[in-house]
Chains A and B, each alone.
Chain A
Amino acid sequence: MTIATVETTRVASWRLLLRNPMTVVSAAVLGVVIVVAVAANWIAPFGVNDVDVPNALQPPSGEHWFGTDELGRDVLSRVLVATQASMRVAVVSVAFAVVVGVTVGVIAGYRGGWVDTVFMRVVDVMFAFPVLLLALAVVAILGPGTTTTILAIGIVYTPIFARVARASTLSVRVEPFVQMSRAMGTGNLYILARHIIPNIAGPLIVQTSLSLAFAILSEAALSFLGLGIQPPQPSLGRMIFDSQGFVTMAWWMAVFPGAAIVVIVLAFNLVGDGLRDVLDPKQRTMIEARSKQ
């Protein structure tokens, strides 16, 4: 008897990802944003709250690349540090949403029955609240601040992850290899960790990157309304809010924080799209064929 060797035609996901130029560029941009966010305090040329009133409202120059605001603070330094703050809020709140949402979704989908019904009705109720309204409620209870913002955004994004996780779990749960494990006497925890989670990771990764983009937007909106990150700590939304009174004479005060938001959100979104193309088996065959030509 001969053992035929099967040629592996499946290409590693990350290699396919690198074949899409749009994804590569946006991933590079995202990489720069992350580096900037982490190193913001070291690379910022000025202190974020260094007031220099005589030099207030200066346009962009060699010394102040992004100009200065109404108190003479360096806009570049503030954008860098605000990016850090926004990214921190987005990452922590989405991480919260992933942990809570996936746990709820996987348990609901795997266990089924009344657990599923109860969990998912709660999720439905959470889903019914508009983001800002829910955030307002949380702020009203806990008072404004970074922690509140994280909690509010985290709660708002939890139901999305719960639904994605539950839907994927429902389809993986009935796969023969899961049935087989149960017939072998394998415990539920082993099945969840080894069989369910790895097989639902694809859609969750995509959802995570897209949610990060929206979390950045939500944080900016909350801070703009004064409910998010509180001064003196700079935040992108707050900077745009502060620029309103000066927008006719100091465009740079609004444009640079705004551009920062656009770049970050776009990068997350495009990376998310790229990931979806690669991790979705249906789209995947198309891409593989296209890139072979």
Chain B
Amino acid sequence: MTDPVLSVRDLRVRIGRREIVHGVAFDLQREQTLGIVGESGSGKTMTALAATGLLDTPGAVVSGSSRLAGETELVGGSARLLRSVHGSKIGFVFQDPGTSLNPLLTLERQITESLETHRKMTRGQATTRALELLEAVGLPDPQTRLHAYPHQLSGGQRQRVMVAIALACDPELLIADEPTTSLDVTTQAQIIDLVRELQQDFGTAVVWISHDLGVIGQVADDVTVLRDGQIVEQGPILDIFDEPQNDYTRELLHARPLVGRAEPAPAPNDAPVLLRVDGLDVRFAVTTPVGRSTVHAVKRLSFEVQRGTTLGLVGESGSGKSTVAGALTGLVEPDTGTAQLDGVEIFGVRGAAAKELRKKIGLVFQDPYSSLNPRARVQTAIDEPLRVHRLAKGKRARRARAAELLELVGLPPSFASRYPHELSGGQRQRVSIARALAAEPELLILDEATASLDVSVQAHVLELLADLQRELGLTYLFIGHDLAVIQQMSHDVLVMRDGEAVEYRPAAELFAEPEHEYTRALLAAVPPARPRAAV
């Protein structure tokens, strides 16, 4: 048997006095994919960077061993050695395609750079190779795209270019760190297929890092489950999926959203309509260097939500779903259309009527890190709606109400005195929900409220939202991109694309028999329950 492409033994990372990664070990063979799965903070990225000598966190000390092709020791390797290996023998694809490419260089320059350095190609040879690579990663019209700049590409296209750059020098090893996490589901499916195809063609070994076991199931042959820098379970993908030995692995498997796994509690019969939107149309004026243009974000959208039910609004980035939330909360000015909440007109109201309306519509955003003021304690955050709408008189009343709300979202009342940076992502999102509930809204708009949480945390927050709906009779407008999550939460579903509703039906019907081709494409892109290896 040949030497493994990458052989890692007892890899440890220390920062200051704290050990972050505690002795990770694995072997990776040619043409194989190792999936490293874990929640944020589990040390999965740090493990991959330390194993390949790319870790440059100040003060980090790496020990153990990581051998490339049985000979080159990467831990403690000289800068010169690492330089000769990075890009030529090891390629990298990172999460954010927006910042991983240099905005000032054309695609051609970014791809040919490593070819000229490592393979000593001439400019002409390198350009020919760059063209081949762009063709291989399926970028439309590669000849023209050679001279394009990153901003002229979509997120998915940029990630394709990242893959092309990573594979430019025919590396033996590809490190893919959450390469599809910031992409739409359909784009994610394309990138997964792309990497698999290229892996077969080039025989590359891949380390694929993700928090999502569904994605790992689609790509990996072996899986390593990491928690707090420690391996909790390691083995072939089928064993992990079918016979998980560890409770934590079971929890991760159970937490991942799957189509057809869960549905919300049945909607109350004959519930009155709470929100009615009719012919909503929103255009944005965009100023670009070449002049002003208009983006037609939402096109004549109509829908209604019954009291005590959830409408799932699903679509990919740019579909206009967040604009709908903005219009309903007064952050965006609609062009035409009407909307009533409980018979009261929403658009175009001013003054006291507008304030009353803001009280009735609660909002929770996607990013738990930026939706709380970093300089205000949790108590202050929850105080705001109470003060603005004069709901609790005096400090003591507000404190009592905050404690009540925190308890409602499953946090201890002592959290009121904490600052956001002292909370985890899931806890912050709970605080956001508590704040949104403070004014006792009739409608809660959840704009991708769980999208940036780890799957296990997401499962808990979804559970909480379902409980709250049952207990308080809340009405949700649940905006998301993940059909499995939408199915779990929604009574009705509206699928949006390019500002238009392509399908709007009761959830049960839509998931049983999707009518529109786009809905079917979205459904097909959700990672299935069984890993690909089992099919």
A residues sitting closer than 8 Å to B (CB atoms) are 1, 3-4, 6, 8, 10, 175-177, 179-187, 190, 194-195, 198-199, 285-286, 289-290, 292-293
State in angstroms the CA–CA spacing of A56 and B427 once bound together: 74
State in angstroms the CA–CA spacing of A286 and B355 once bound together: 44
A190 B384 Cβ-Cβ under 8 A: yes
Residues on the A chain within 8 Å of B423, using CB:
6
B374 A199 Cβ-Cβ under 8 A: yes
Give A292's nearest chain B residue, CB to CB: B16
User: Which among B119-127, B147-155, B200-208, B362-370 touches the partner chain?
Assistant: B362-370
Residues on the A chain within 8 Å of B72, using CB:
none
Residues on the A chain within 8 Å of B375, using CB:
198-199
Contact with A along B91-116 (1 / 0, CB 8 A): 00000000000000000000000000
Taking the closest CB of chain A, its distance from the CB of B502, in whole angstroms, is 27
Residues on the A chain within 8 Å of B16, using CB:
292-293
Interface residue from A6, A179, A293 paired with B424 (Cβ < 8 Å): A6
- Residues of B in contact, count (CB < 8 Å): 42
State in angstroms the CA–CA spacing of A290 and B58 once bound together: 7
Taking the closest CB of chain B, its distance from the CB of A184, in whole angstroms, is 5
Instruction: Give the tally of cross-chain contacts (CB within 8 A).
Output: 88
Max chain A Cβ within 10 angstroms of own Cβ: one of B57, B375, B376:
B375
Residues on the B chain within 8 Å of A181, using CB:
384
Residues on the B chain within 8 Å of A177, using CB:
370-373
- Is B81 in the interface zone, CB < 8 Å from A? no
- Is B244 in the interface zone, CB < 8 Å from A? no
State in angstroms the CA–CA spacing of A256 and B261 once bound together: 82
* Interface CB pairs A-B, < 8 A, 11: A176-B371, A177-B371, A177-B372, A177-B373, A180-B435, A182-B331, A184-B385, A184-B388, A186-B388, A194-B380, A290-B59
B421 A184 Cβ-Cβ under 8 A: no
State in angstroms the CA–CA spacing of A16 and B457 once bound together: 33
Known: A182-B331, A185-B388. A3 touches B58 (CB 8 A): no
Chain B interface, DSSP helix/strand/loop, else mixed: loop
B371 A183 Cβ-Cβ under 8 A: no
B385 A198 Cβ-Cβ under 8 A: no
Known: A185-B358, A198-B373. A4 touches B424 (CB 8 A): yes
B422 A194 Cβ-Cβ under 8 A: no
A183 B363 Cβ-Cβ under 8 A: yes
Give A186's nearest chain B residue, CB to CB: B388
Max chain A Cβ within 10 angstroms of own Cβ: one of B15, B354, B370, B460:
B370
- Is B359 in the interface zone, CB < 8 Å from A? yes
Residues on the A chain within 8 Å of B374, using CB:
199
- Is B330 in the interface zone, CB < 8 Å from A? yes
Residues on the A chain within 8 Å of B435, using CB:
180
B422 A8 Cβ-Cβ under 8 A: yes
Interface residue from B365, B387, B460 paired with A176 (Cβ < 8 Å): B365
B373 A194 Cβ-Cβ under 8 A: yes
State in angstroms the CA–CA spacing of A289 and B58 once bound together: 6
Give A199's nearest chain B residue, CB to CB: B375
A180 B363 Cβ-Cβ under 8 A: yes
Residues on the B chain within 8 Å of A175, using CB:
370
Extra contacts besides A176-B370, A184-B358, A185-B389 (16): CB < 8 Å: A4-B427, A6-B424, A8-B422, A176-B371, A177-B371, A177-B373, A180-B371, A182-B330, A184-B363, A184-B385, A184-B439, A194-B376, A290-B59, A292-B16, A292-B59, A293-B16
Known: A185-B355, A185-B388. A179 touches B58 (CB 8 A): no
State in angstroms the CA–CA spacing of A8 and B388 once bound together: 31
- Is B279 in the interface zone, CB < 8 Å from A? no
- Is B260 in the interface zone, CB < 8 Å from A? no
Residues on the B chain within 8 Å of A180, using CB:
363, 365, 371, 432, 435
State in angstroms the CA–CA spacing of A176 and B363 once bound together: 11
Taking the closest CB of chain A, its distance from the CB of B370, in whole angstroms, is 5
Contact with A along B307-339 (1 / 0, CB 8 A): 000000000000000000000011100000000
State in angstroms the CA–CA spacing of A185 and B346 once bound together: 13
State in angstroms the CA–CA spacing of A177 and B364 once bound together: 10
- Is B4 in the interface zone, CB < 8 Å from A? no
Chain A interface, DSSP helix/strand/loop, else mixed: helix
- Is B76 in the interface zone, CB < 8 Å from A? no
State in angstroms the CA–CA spacing of A194 and B423 once bound together: 20
Known: A199-B375, A292-B16. A185 touches B424 (CB 8 A): no
Max chain B Cβ within 10 angstroms of own Cβ: one of A3, A190, A198, A199:
A3
Residues on the A chain within 8 Å of B384, using CB:
181, 184, 186, 190, 194
State in angstroms the CA–CA spacing of A293 and B18 once bound together: 11
State in angstroms the CA–CA spacing of A279 and B467 once bound together: 42
Taking the closest CB of chain A, its distance from the CB of B269, in whole angstroms, is 32
Taking the closest CB of chain A, its distance from the CB of B339, in whole angstroms, is 15
Residues on the B chain within 8 Å of A194, using CB:
373, 376, 380, 384
| CB-contacts of B335-360 with A (<8 A) | 354-355, 357-359
- Is B410 in the interface zone, CB < 8 Å from A? yes
Residues on the A chain within 8 Å of B421, using CB:
8, 10
- Is B412 in the interface zone, CB < 8 Å from A? yes
State in angstroms the CA–CA spacing of A187 and B439 once bound together: 15
Residues on the A chain within 8 Å of B329, using CB:
183
Give B41's nearest chain A residue, CB to CB: A6
State in angstroms the CA–CA spacing of A187 and B387 once bound together: 11
State in angstroms the CA–CA spacing of A1 and B411 once bound together: 10
State in angstroms the CA–CA spacing of A149 and B58 once bound together: 48
Give A174's nearest chain B residue, CB to CB: B370
Residues on the A chain within 8 Å of B359, using CB:
184-185
Residues on the B chain within 8 Å of A199, using CB:
373-375
Taking the closest CB of chain A, its distance from the CB of B415, in whole angstroms, is 9
| CB-contacts of B388-426 with A (<8 A) | 388-389, 410-412, 421-424
Give A172's nearest chain B residue, CB to CB: B373
Taking the closest CB of chain B, its distance from the CB of A163, in whole angstroms, is 22
Give A286's nearest chain B residue, CB to CB: B58
Taking the closest CB of chain B, its distance from the CB of A91, in whole angstroms, is 26
Give A183's nearest chain B residue, CB to CB: B329
Interface residue from A1, A179, A289 paired with B460 (Cβ < 8 Å): A1
A190 B388 Cβ-Cβ under 8 A: yes
B358 A183 Cβ-Cβ under 8 A: yes
State in angstroms the CA–CA spacing of A279 and B508 once bound together: 53
A3 B370 Cβ-Cβ under 8 A: no
Taking the closest CB of chain A, its distance from the CB of B417, in whole angstroms, is 13
B373 A1 Cβ-Cβ under 8 A: no
State in angstroms the CA–CA spacing of A3 and B359 once bound together: 30
Give A177's nearest chain B residue, CB to CB: B373
Residues on the A chain within 8 Å of B412, using CB:
3
Max chain B Cβ within 10 angstroms of own Cβ: one of A1, A175, A183, A186:
A183
Known: A3-B427, A286-B58, A293-B16. A187 touches B388 (CB 8 A): yes
A289 B59 Cβ-Cβ under 8 A: yes
Taking the closest CB of chain A, its distance from the CB of B247, in whole angstroms, is 12
Taking the closest CB of chain A, its distance from the CB of B349, in whole angstroms, is 11
Taking the closest CB of chain A, its distance from the CB of B360, in whole angstroms, is 10
B373 A185 Cβ-Cβ under 8 A: no
Interface residue from A176, A182, A184, A286 paired with B367 (Cβ < 8 Å): A176
Give A196's nearest chain B residue, CB to CB: B373
State in angstroms the CA–CA spacing of A20 and B422 once bound together: 25
Taking the closest CB of chain B, its distance from the CB of A249, in whole angstroms, is 56
| CB-contacts of B455-496 with A (<8 A) | 460
Residues on the B chain within 8 Å of A176, using CB:
365, 367, 370-371
- Top 6 nearest A-B pairs (CB, nearest first) are A185-B358, A289-B58, A183-B329, A292-B16, A198-B375, A176-B371
